[in-house]
Amino acid sequence: MAASRYRRFLRLCEEWPVEDSKRQRDLGSFLRQRVAQAFREGENTPIPDPEACDQMYESLVRIHTNFYKNKYPRLKDTTFTGLTVEDCRMVLATDLLKQMEGMKKGTWKRLLGKFSAKKPGEDVK
């Protein structure tokens, strides 16, 4: 029975897309890592709780097939901010987040210098 569960998870991993724009933060790559950890021995891996394994699989299938998106359709394809799905994907891309991280550090250092009592490099007289 473990062999069929393993094959189902492998099939799900093959179908699940990997987003290149979210390197190291993608749900598809995370799923692949977790399946590799959970089934270290492949088809011979003993499963301590088969019911929980089946529930996890069914939940992942519902996410993958957009079950709830189709069951509860939205009136508009925008968020409360007015951004579209494509805008959100662009904002959450790894490259843009790294650029933003660099900007945060620059802003923080600028504010720290603005509000500090003495300027860096200034000696007490």
At residue 125, the pLDDT reads 45
Please identify which residue in the block is written with the tokens 């991993």: 13
> What three-state secondary structure class fits 78?
strand
Please identify which residue in the block is written with the tokens 């890592």: 33
52 and 66, same domain (yes or no): yes
41 and 4, same domain (yes or no): yes
The parent domain of residue 107 ranges over: 76-117
In DSSP terms, which residues pair with 78 in a beta bridge? 84
Residue 19 to residue 89: CA distance in whole angstroms? 10
51 located within any domain: yes
pTM of the model: 0.63
Tell me: pLDDT of 94 over 90.
Answer: no
pLDDT band at 113 (very low <50, low <70, confident <90, very high): low
pLDDT band at 103 (very low <50, low <70, confident <90, very high): low
At residue 56, the pLDDT reads 94
